[in-house]
Amino acid sequence: MDKERIINLFTELTAVDSLSRGERRMADILAEELRRLGFDVIEDDAGEKIGSDTGNLYAFLKGTDPGKKPVLLSAHMDTVVPGIGKKAVVDHEAGVITSQGDTILGADDVAGIVQILEGVRYVTGSGSGYGDIEVLFTVAEEVYGLGASAFDYSRIRSGSAYVIDMSGRVGKAAVAAPSIITFGFTVKGRPAHAGFDPGAGINAIAIASDIIAETKQGLVSDGLTLNIGTISGGSVSNIVSETCSCTGEVRGSDHDAACRALDELRDRVERKAAAAGASCTFDSEVMIKAYRTDESEDVCGTFLKACRGIGVEPEFVSTRGGSDNNVFALHGIPGIVVGCGMRNTHSTSEYIYLDDLFRGVELVSRIIQER
């Protein structure tokens, strides 16, 4: 393993501006890297479908051992904000890479990308046999997996997927993630002068406040959370507010339970509005759907063997966040989300330990060899 090359590739890629729907330069660099490794590479039309300047990159490398199973390795090319002008700071003495402090680092998900590229490089250069390797680098993962949702899954030959995109130590992997359903409702009352004739008005803010007061938020039950995150309403202080709007989300490890919680909220909004003589609207959208990969699946067995092969303790967990793996599951591809060492993601204090970066390369290479 060439550790200097790994660090250099990581710092080069994190320096690329690659916000969601703006991954063009990153995709061009990665397509060239994949071709150098011998992959056939195509860029799909996801960009046109989702309003990005770039499509997903799908790459295929024919295996050398027909007795080994194909493997799908995936990571995403986009980052969150603040992600313009990133510069990685490598502290060899402390063994850590950080940002300069005014942007994210971008280890989410450059760490996964580098571990895939370098893991493949190690295997193909080792002389050992390997099965077919598929790589999918997606766009707009940070926008509820939009890029993965626009991909044509008839291309995929592998029966399982390894999504290298989880915070925390190498050796940890998520086998379950929740549904995320966003919602918004608006209450429309009746305006009136707040000083001269307040009784003629129907106060939309008061109705929305009543709805919120009766809605249990936070951890509603095991595996189910509900949050009302924004509220806006009224126009001026001396007018009874005519409208009030709220938005939020429901997350549930059980999709049906999440839908029931949403239905209960919708019923409450409609009931409270009608009782006060107001009208209302309620909209919702399933952003990602829950999945659970059984630990008896081959994808998990290979992961266990790979972890033990490089001397790390494997651990399967459930996560409260979504990933492209939620989308893969909808298309019948069992997968897990693999820890790649990134920490404090989506913040300017994001960092990764060098040992985790290197260990992730080892793990990916071992996953390929264990298939």
For the chain, the domains span 3-177+290-370, 179-288
CATH architecture of 3-177+290-370: 3-Layer(aba) Sandwich (3.40)
Per-residue confidence (pLDDT) for residue 278, from 0 to 100: 99
- Locate tokens 């920490």: which residue? 343
**pTM of the shown model:** 0.93
Structure tokens at 160: 């399982």
Tell whether the model's pLDDT for residue 316 goes beyond 90: yes
Contact 161, 335 (CB under 8 A): yes
Tell whether the model's pLDDT for residue 293 goes beyond 90: yes
Tell whether the model's pLDDT for residue 1 goes beyond 90: no
Phi-psi region of 31 (alpha: psi -120 to 50; beta: other; left: phi over 0): alpha
Tell me which H or E stretch contains 91.
strand 89-91
Which residues touch 155 (CB under 8 Å, ≥6 apart)? 58
At 158-201, the pLDDT tens digits run: 999 999 999 999 999 999 999 999 999 999 999 999 999 999 99
Contact 58, 134 (CB under 8 A): yes
Per-residue confidence (pLDDT) for residue 288, from 0 to 100: 96
Determine the average pLDDT of the residues in 354-371: 97
Q: Between 3-14 and 24-36, two packed helices, what is the crossing angle to 10 degrees?
A: 160
Which CATH number applies to 179-288? 3.30.70.360
Per-residue confidence (pLDDT) for residue 162, from 0 to 100: 99
HSE at residue 180, side-chain half, CA atoms within 13 A, is 16
At 112-142, the pLDDT tens digits run: 999 999 999 999 999 899 999 999 999 999 9
Per-residue confidence (pLDDT) for residue 352, from 0 to 100: 99
HSE at residue 316, side-chain half, CA atoms within 13 A, is 17
pLDDT band (50, 70, 90) for residue 371: confident
Per-residue confidence (pLDDT) for residue 248, from 0 to 100: 98
Determine the average pLDDT of the residues in 101-117: 98
Q: How far apart are CA 112 and CA 96, in angstroms?
A: 16
The torsion defined by the Cα of 251, 253, 259 and 262, in degrees rounded to 10, comes to -30
Query: What single DSSP character describes residue 70?
Result: P
Tell whether the model's pLDDT for residue 325 goes beyond 90: yes
Determine the average pLDDT of the residues in 43-54: 97
Determine the average pLDDT of the residues in 216-244: 97
- 3-state helix, strand, coil split of the chain in percent (to 5) is 35, 30, 35
At 78-97, the pLDDT tens digits run: 999 999 999 999 999 999 99
Start-to-end CA span in the chain (Å): 21
Tell me which H or E stretch contains 75.
strand 71-76
Q: How far apart are CA 306 and CA 302, in angstroms?
A: 6
Q: How far apart are CA 358 and CA 340, in angstroms?
A: 9
Above pLDDT 90, what percent of the chain? Answer: 99
HSE at residue 98, side-chain half, CA atoms within 13 A, is 13
Closest CA to 140 of 63, 69, 80, 220: 80
- The whole-angstrom distance between residue 157's C-alpha and the CA centroid of its chain comes to 23
- For residue 307, the SS3 value is helix
Average pLDDT, the chain: 98
At 198-225, the pLDDT tens digits run: 999 999 999 999 999 999 999 999 999 9
Per-residue confidence (pLDDT) for residue 359, from 0 to 100: 98
Determine the average pLDDT of the residues in 264-278: 99
**Regarding beta strands 315-318 and 172-177, do their DSSP bridges make them parallel or antiparallel, or are they unpaired?**
parallel
Which residues touch 95 (CB under 8 Å, ≥6 apart)? 353, 354, 355
HSE at residue 94, side-chain half, CA atoms within 13 A, is 9
- For residue 255, the SS3 value is helix
pLDDT band (50, 70, 90) for residue 72: very high
